[in-house]
Amino acid sequence: MKVAIIGSNGQLGSDLVRAFAENKDEVCPLTHANIDISNYESVRSALEKENLSVVVNTAAMHHVDNCERDPAAAYSVNSIGARNLALVTRDIGATLIHVSTDYVFDGKKTVPYLEEDAALPLNVYGNSKLAGESYVRTMNPRHFVVRTSALYGIHQCRAKGGRNFVELMLELARTRGKVRVVNDEFVSPTSTWILAQQILRLSQTDQFGLYHATSEGSCSWYEFAREIFDVAGVKVELEVAAAGDFPMKTPRPRYSVLENRRLKEVGLNLFGPWQNGLRQYLTDSELLPAAAAEA
């Protein structure tokens, strides 16, 4: 199978390149320098000669405040970019796997969101991603739209820069010894390596459609931090904060936990509890001291 990975040097894209390569698929890695998804001609010329079976799109403008500041740019990447990919993949007969987000929901539910729940985004990022989903779902029948949440991985998130949440918590513990984390925002933290395995698995099927794809279970950011420190064996003063203590410029859903209902229905759900994904990531990234890894 020949597979193009768009955003191949990103946090998720890097793990996708490795997952497909380890599966002995022929991988065509595409960075922003090789393709600009917001430009139809760029998409066509990058993809049409490659004889591709599958195109995986991880490219997005997903810094939430930047999207709010520049909605035209957000829509041109997240919506028109998805449209361009849907059109070109349809024309070349390739499957499109398009990565989307939990931020399509407003966070007013208190139990996990299902694929069929109404999407009511609170911000430009969520709205522009939802429009992108719609283009993909209507323009190329051979599609997988994969919504995920709170990613962390070995490779840096290019849009957000700096450290991921796990690295940030460990860094703050080391430098300050005291950390305050919000306890009233809930997510399903998801490792990009496990998500890459899930996307690889979907690509081997023709069970096209919309999927929620996150680790099992959920936690507040505070509970996530607690688990990080417990697993890593780090002693730190961890304090509870409320979302209101760190006012955000852009509204975000308070509760964006996703249920992998459709993956389970088709017997393809590979995710285990989020705590297992965290432990595997800490071991793989060598952030876990040897003693803690063996415990």
Ligand X SMILES: NC(=O)c1ccc[n+]([C@@H]2O[C@H](COP(=O)([O-])OP(=O)(O)OC[C@H]3O[C@@H](n4cnc5c(N)ncnc54)[C@H](OP(=O)(O)O)[C@@H]3O)[C@@H](O)[C@H]2O)c1
| Binding residues for ligand X (CB under 6 A) | 6-7, 9-13, 31-32, 35-38, 58-62, 77, 81, 99, 101-102, 148-151, 157-159
Judged by CB, which is closer to ligand X: 32, or 90?
A: 32
Q: Minimum Å distance from CB 176 to ligand X?
A: 24
Q: How far apart are the first and last CA of the chain?
A: 40
Judged by CB, which is closer to ligand X: 256, or 275?
A: 256
CB 274 within 8 A of CB 188: yes
CB 222 within 8 A of CB 240: yes
Q: Which two tokens stand for residue 80?
A: 């028109």
Q: Minimum Å distance from CB 16 to ligand X?
A: 9
Integer-rounded Cα Rg, in Å, for the chain is 19
Phi, psi of 268 (to 5 degrees): -120, 5
Judged by CB, which is closer to ligand X: 9, or 292?
A: 9
Catalytic annotation present for 125: yes
Distance CA 175, CA 215 (A): 30
| CA quadruple 158, 162, 166, 170: dihedral, nearest 10 | 160
* Nearest residue to ligand X, scored by beta-carbon proximity: 10
Q: DSSP assignment of 4-25, as one string?
A: EEETTTSHHHHHHHHHHHHTT-
Q: Minimum Å distance from CB 145 to ligand X?
A: 11
Q: Minimum Å distance from CB 31 to ligand X?
A: 6
- DSSP H helices in the chain: 11-22, 40-47, 64-69, 71-75, 81-92, 124-139, 165-176, 192-203, 221-232, 261-265, 274-284, 290-294
Judged by CB, which is closer to ligand X: 28, or 236?
A: 28
Q: Minimum Å distance from CB 96 to ligand X?
A: 13
Catalytic residue among 125, 135, 152, 222: 125
- Looking at the annotation, which residues are catalytic? 125
